[in-house]
A and B are shown apart, each in its own frame.
Chain A
Amino acid sequence: MTDTVGIVIVSHSSDIAKGTADMVRQMVGSEVKVAFCGGNPDGGLGTSVPLIIDAINDAWSPKGVAVLVDLGGAETNSEMAVEMLEPARRDLVVVCNAPIVEGAVMAATEAAGGSSLAQVKAVAEELSAD
């Protein structure tokens, strides 16, 4: 298997994160590494920096990882998680400005074709363009 960009899904809700990951897997099978997390450190609605770090490392690929997030705190916590990665990985992770479900499916489909991290991010973010 050639390396493909990994996908991480970060939602305030673990149900949404898991459901989104299920939809992604249905689209791209096992060609792309997909990891997800949702919920605050107590399991309630929210996001958790350590869980995001774990998810990024689980989905790790030498081609990088694209992170899809839902609302504000998920983005802020994901950006913080990226900064806390080991330096060699930090520059190979992007947080996409895209709707979480559509963005994850589009990003994973693009990744499955062997595209670069920048291409994967661009395709996901086309969804946010007017």
Chain B
Amino acid sequence: MSVPSETLKSLVKAAAEQVIASAPELTSLDQAIGDGDHGTNMKRGCEAVLGKLDAISAQPLDEALKMIGKTLVMTVGGASGPLYGSFFLAAGEALSHDKQLPDDLADVFGSAVNAVSARGRSQVGEKTMLDVLVPVLETLKTAAGQPDLIARVRTTATEAVERTAPMQATKGRASFLGARSVGHVDPGARSSCVLVQAVCAGLEARP
């Protein structure tokens, strides 16, 4: 599927703006269990993406995703840069290798999630962004082709974020806190949810 440039542009813009708007909340969550820079780091990365919005949306979807990934890698300044960067680089790479949207959406998303897992040497259940991305992937698989797919993805993401609160972190800076990380929502899971919700909202708003 070729995505019209204007659609791509509005989706990327909405997602980046939503993350920027969520920066104070992400920072506050990260101050509780991390080093407090997740909001400012993601904001810096998303502002860099917005700065390249015209160039990004002029590309075919696979190249646009790779450009987003590389921009995040080069500008975020924390581990979330390579993690989100690898997500978008892998998604773009999957689309460059014969995968098509919308039919292969779960496959493409799965490649992206695997890249995050490999980059962070992390698995689901360790209180990270994977605790949102993996449940979303499962919904993309089980509800593929259903008319309410977007609504189900949104519900999945929101519920998955809340499930990170009782988890004990074993990866990232939050793992230093051990049991004290319990009771706080994971900031990376939250930023993943913000991105998923923004893209879903953008798709819902399409004419």
Q: Interface on A for B, CB 8 Å cutoff?
A: 40-42, 44-50, 71-73, 76-77, 79-80, 84
* Cβ B173 vs Cβ A71 within 8 A: yes
Excluding A76-B120, A77-B81, 4 further A-B contacts by CB distance (< 8 Å) are A40-B77, A41-B44, A45-B35, A49-B74
* Cβ B40 vs Cβ A72 within 8 A: no
Can you spell out 16 A-B residue pairs with CB atoms less than 8 angstroms apart?
A: A40-B44, A42-B44, A42-B77, A44-B37, A44-B40, A46-B41, A46-B78, A49-B82, A71-B173, A72-B79, A72-B172, A73-B79, A77-B78, A79-B82, A80-B85, A80-B119
List B contacts of A44 (CB < 8 A): 37, 40, 77
CA separation between A95 and B120, bound complex, in Å?
Answer: 15
CA separation between A42 and B81, bound complex, in Å?
Answer: 14
Determine if B75 is an interface residue (Cβ-Cβ < 8 Å): yes
- Closest chain B residue to A45 by CB distance? B37
List B contacts of A48 (CB < 8 A): 74, 77
List A contacts of B76 (CB < 8 A): 40
- Closest chain B residue to A12 by CB distance? B35
Closest chain A CB from B175 CB (angstroms): 9
Closest chain B CB from A12 CB (angstroms): 8
CA separation between A73 and B79, bound complex, in Å?
Answer: 4
* Cβ B77 vs Cβ A76 within 8 A: no
CA separation between A84 and B66, bound complex, in Å?
Answer: 13
* Cβ A49 vs Cβ B81 within 8 A: yes
Closest chain B CB from A30 CB (angstroms): 31
* Cβ B82 vs Cβ A40 within 8 A: no
* Cβ A73 vs Cβ B73 within 8 A: no
Closest chain B CB from A69 CB (angstroms): 11
* Cβ A49 vs Cβ B119 within 8 A: no
Determine if B83 is an interface residue (Cβ-Cβ < 8 Å): yes
* Cβ A77 vs Cβ B79 within 8 A: yes
List B contacts of A41 (CB < 8 A): 44, 74-75, 77
Given A42-B44, A46-B37, A47-B77, also A80-B172 (CB < 8 A): no
Interface string of B46-88 (1 = CB under 8 A from A): 0000000000000000000000000001111111011101100
CA separation between A42 and B47, bound complex, in Å?
Answer: 12
Would you list the 9 A-B pairs with minimal beta carbon distance, nearest first?
Answer: A40-B77, A80-B82, A46-B77, A73-B79, A76-B79, A73-B78, A76-B82, A41-B77, A49-B73
CA separation between A62 and B85, bound complex, in Å?
Answer: 29
CA separation between A41 and B41, bound complex, in Å?
Answer: 9
List A contacts of B172 (CB < 8 A): 72
CA separation between A73 and B45, bound complex, in Å?
Answer: 15
CA separation between A80 and B119, bound complex, in Å?
Answer: 8
Closest chain A CB from B186 CB (angstroms): 14
Say which residue of B35, B41, B81 sits within 8 Å of A80 (CB atoms).
B81
CA separation between A42 and B62, bound complex, in Å?
Answer: 29
CA separation between A8 and B83, bound complex, in Å?
Answer: 22
List B contacts of A47 (CB < 8 A): 77-78
- Closest chain A residue to B174 by CB distance? A72
